[in-house]
Each structure stands twice: as C-alpha cells, then as structure tokens.
Amino acid sequence: MATIERTSRDLDKREMTERPKRWAPPQLLPDPTPEPGYAFRWIRLSTLNAPDALNISSKFREGWEPVKASEHPEIPLVPGSASRFPDSVEVGGLLLCKTPAEFVDQRDAHYRQLASSQMESVDNSFMRENDPRMPLFKERSSKVTFGKGT
C-alpha cells in the first residue's frame, strides 16, 4: 500500500484565520518603553531650525536628562545632521528626556499649590468688594434628606 503525503490541516487553516493587515498612520513621536520610577518627556531643542538654548537649559536644571539611543532600541532613528546630543533620541527638534517620577510628582504639587494660592488671592480680592446688603454671589449648597421631610 502506497503512502500519500498530506499537508497538515494547521497549515491550510492558518491563512483563513489570519487577520487582515491594516494600514496605520505613522506616529509622529514614538513612545519609549516605560521604565519603573521614571517619567519621559519630549523637550524642544529648536524651533524652525533656530536653537532654543533657554528652554533646554531650564529643563536640564529641572532634572530632565537626555535618553541614550542605546537604552531604547525600539525607537527607530534616522541619522540627522550634526546634533548637540549625537548619542540621544532626537526627532524633529525634540529630545527625549527622562527624570525620576518623584521629581514630576513634586513639580506637579508645587504648581498645584501655586494655582491654589492664586485662586485664593483672587477670591479674597473679589470678596473685598462684597457688601452684605447686595452680595456679589450667593453660596449654593444642596441637602439630601431621607424619609419624611418637614
């Protein structure tokens, strides 16, 4: 009796179960692989080919440091012209930087407190003009009761 060579059923069905490939628009700024304890941010180096030294130096003083391209090989890079940061990740005048997450939390808390004190100052200045005979605004509150109301 002759043996018949057959192809595996898995090979036949694979093409039918494979999802169709879809086109997706390119992502302008790729996301780096997250690292525990660090936050990432794209920082402007230049605008319209004019260097922005003030911006980058202020960000470095805040604690941001350039990310080395070797640390994130998943980000495709196109070699560009002479850059001040040749071993870092740079896309279109933006430099990928990282800082410890606790710095970001402290910065957010600082600016939240600053905004809160500014709002308090505005409210105090506004309420200074308030007269009880003709209030500028009325505090509104609601009350929820259960059972028989009075």
Cβ–Cβ under 8 Å, residues 46 and 52: yes
Length, in residues, of the chain: 150
Q: Measured between alpha carbons, how far is residue 5 from residues 2, 8, 13, 16, 43 in Å?
A: 10, 10, 18, 22, 61
| Bridge partners of residue 95, in order along the sequence | 43, 90
pLDDT by residue for the chain (150 residues), tens only, comes to 667 776 666 555 555 566 778 877 777 788 888 889 999 999 998 888 788 889 999 999 999 999 988 888 888 776 666 677 878 888 888 889 999 999 999 999 999 999 989 988 887 877 777 777 766 665 656 677 777 765
| Bridge partners of residue 138, in order along the sequence | none
**Nearest C-alpha neighbor of 57 from the set 19, 116, 97:** 97
Task: Tell if the pTM clears 0.75, that is, is over it.
Answer: no
Please provide the distance, in angstroms rounded to a whole number, between the alpha carbons at the two ends of the chain.
98
**Nearest C-alpha neighbor of 94 from the set 58, 51, 63:** 51
